[in-house]
Chains A and B, each alone.
Chain A
Amino acid sequence: MVENTEKTEKAEKVVKVKLLGPRKLTKEQMEAPEPRSPWPIVLAVTIFIACVGLLIHPIVFFIGVILILGSITGWLLERRSYLR
């Protein structure tokens, strides 16, 4: 019974969070980068794949190029998570 009450309270809190939406941000926060981003390492890996492809097979190279374009797109479209 106690557990059920706790669960209900937690569920209510989650709902409240969703209703609150994103926090208001200062100009500095808006301009600040995400403290963490996967795209730098992803882009580096894809460039690495393209270089390996140049050595071993053209198909690997073209896959690398496509991945590079994909990761650049991901980098450019990345938004700060607290804005989502």
Chain B
Amino acid sequence: MATRTIEGVGVVPQRKTFAETYIGQWLTTVDHKKIGIMYIVTAFFFFLVGGMEALLVRTQLAVPNGKVLDPETYNEIFTMHGLTMIFLFVMPMTVGIGNYIVPLMIGARDMAFPRLNAFGYWIVLFGGLFLTSSFLFNAAPNDGWFAYAPLTELNSGCVKAYQCTPGLNMDFWVLGILLLGISSISGALNFVVTILKMRAPGMTINRMPLFVWMTLVTSFLLLFAIPSLTAASGLLLLDRHLGTHFYQYTFGGDPLLWQHLFWSFGHPEVYILILPAFGIISDVLPTFSRKPIFGYTFVAWSGVAIGFLSFTVWAHHMFAVGLPLIAQAFFATSTTLIAIPTAVKMFNWIATIFRGKVVFRVPMLFAIGFIAMFLIGGLNGVALAIVPFDYQVTDTYFVVSHIHYVLFGGSVMAIFAGIYYWFPKMTGRMLGEKLGQAQFWLFLIGLNLTFFPMQILGLLGMRRRIYTYPANLGWNDLNLLETVGAFIIATGVLIFIWNVIRSLRSGEAAGSDPWDAFTLEWDTSSPPPPYNFETIPVVRSRRPFYDKKNPEIADWKTATH
């Protein structure tokens, strides 16, 4: 029995409904902060799943002629590793951080569509469980995360069984991706409306925090990119079960149609994964450099430029299929062009740190690590835009190295920068500094040991996705080194888990503003109340909380923005 006070009447005994119980509150909540935390916890769970898949892959490849996994299981494991890390870790994690932080950053009380927000989360959870449960049926997707046709076809047109996928494996892929696509669209719509319509008074577009900017751009990318993937998946489902032949050359279809449709989603997807990371870094660096971001306008609009350009580069994934020369020239040029706005960001981040009073707390370490590692990944990407070089290394471990420097060295490092930065806001507790530093160095060393040798192996001709390799190719030591690196990263993850548990139990109280930060999310308690702010703040510059704390030298007194 609970009691409820009713105005003018007194205390009335009332039975607790299920929605009012602890579990019920989480299951039925539409509060953006709770939903954000659920996203983050779920994404981290899938990070562990994807990490274990990665360790299995690396264990299999540690020595030549490895026998840890059989070839079929190996195909399933590396496919699910890619799917899990992309669709069930990085995307939900950045959406979760955005869910929690964006309304606070813009001075709103919640997202624009709270129920749609909750729906987006639950679909991610069930989509993830759906995909992962495929292991229970011995039918996990097994054709790689980009699922090239006609390997994914059911049976018609296949001369031999291994040329297609007769089991349920690719059905799990298609339906799982459709579920996750529904979530992405609903989440993106919600972010766009929230950011465009619910900002606090005075927060013009050009005063928004850069994480909000990048979330907005990412949301537009999702809205325009996901339909292409949905169409591709739908056509594949029709091919597999209703006898159509969209991707079957023998019957007048075209396998390249899949590649065009998939990559016109797939390359914007890379930016969907990295742009929120750019946003996190653009808010962490100024706080720990004790100065405003250098070149705010350029950092913000270079994100928009990256967003536009990301739709013009998809066929650089397809140079090896024999595109016409003019197409090769176009996509090589557009891919090289996209390096320009990315470099603009890099220079601005470095200029932000330059001559700042840099405080090397854990979020800053991860942010600096991000800059260094993403630079390597980005430069690899420019190399891959050069068509003759791409011919040489396409589908080798060089490409695997590139994507991991971008997504692990980039997205994952930035995500951990964000977690260490905003964990105090979400829980009211600080994460342990020393454990955080240990995790950072293990990550930095581990990821370079794992992913740098892949570049050499790629140049030596090691194909991606091979199940094993003979001992006489000169690949043995580098592969073993990579496996050692993967386990070092895993140790870092374990330290992080311990750090979180320890902090939640007995961590130092954070207070509302532990970093002496500049943006609005710190202008409320930690964790914030359900309504976020007692009164909606009024914004007069890009650093509204800095202005409030320093009224004599407030930005709006000197700056024109």
Residues of A within 8 A of B (CB): 10, 13-14, 16-17, 20, 23, 33-41, 43-45, 47-48, 51-52, 54-55, 75
* Smallest CB gap from A51: residue in B: B175
Alpha-carbon gap, A75 to B179, bound state (A): 19
Alpha-carbon gap, A75 to B122, bound state (A): 15
In the bound complex, do residue A51 and residue B179 qualify as a contact, i.e. CB atoms below 8 Å apart?
yes
Contacts of A33 in B (CB 8 A): 30, 114-115
Instruction: Answer yes or no: B270 CB below 8 A from chain A CBs.
Output: no
Q: Which of B7, B115, B117, B126 contacts A48 (CB 8 A)?
A: B126
- The 8 A CB mask of B526-553 against A (1 = contact, 0 = none) is 0000100000000000000000000000
Q: A36-B30, A51-B179 are in contact. Are A43 and B114 (CB under 8 A)?
A: no
Contacts of A51 in B (CB 8 A): 130, 175, 178-179
Binds A, one of B9-17, B248-256, B367-375: B9-17
Given A41-B118, A47-B179, A52-B130, 18 more A-B residue pairs with CB atoms under 8 Å apart are A14-B12, A23-B7, A33-B30, A34-B30, A35-B30, A36-B24, A36-B28, A36-B29, A37-B30, A37-B118, A40-B117, A40-B122, A41-B119, A44-B123, A47-B182, A48-B179, A51-B179, A55-B171
Chain B residues numbered 301-348 whose CB sits less than 8 Å from any CB in chain A: none
Alpha-carbon gap, A10 to B7, bound state (A): 15
Q: B-side binding surface: helix, strand, loop or mixed?
A: helix
Expressed in whole angstroms, the minimum distance between the Cβ of B120 and any Cβ of chain A is: 8
Interface size class on chain B is: 35 or more
Expressed in whole angstroms, the minimum distance between the Cβ of A71 and any Cβ of chain B is: 10
Q: Which of B8, B119, B130, B530 contacts A40 (CB 8 A)?
A: B119
Contacts of A75 in B (CB 8 A): 115
* Smallest CB gap from A36: residue in B: B28
In the bound complex, do residue A37 and residue B28 qualify as a contact, i.e. CB atoms below 8 Å apart?
yes
* Smallest CB gap from A20: residue in B: B9
* Smallest CB gap from A16: residue in B: B9
Q: List 20 A-B contacts (CB under 8 A).
A: A13-B9, A14-B12, A20-B8, A36-B30, A37-B28, A37-B115, A38-B27, A39-B115, A40-B119, A41-B27, A41-B118, A43-B122, A44-B119, A47-B179, A48-B129, A51-B175, A51-B178, A55-B168, A55-B171, A75-B115
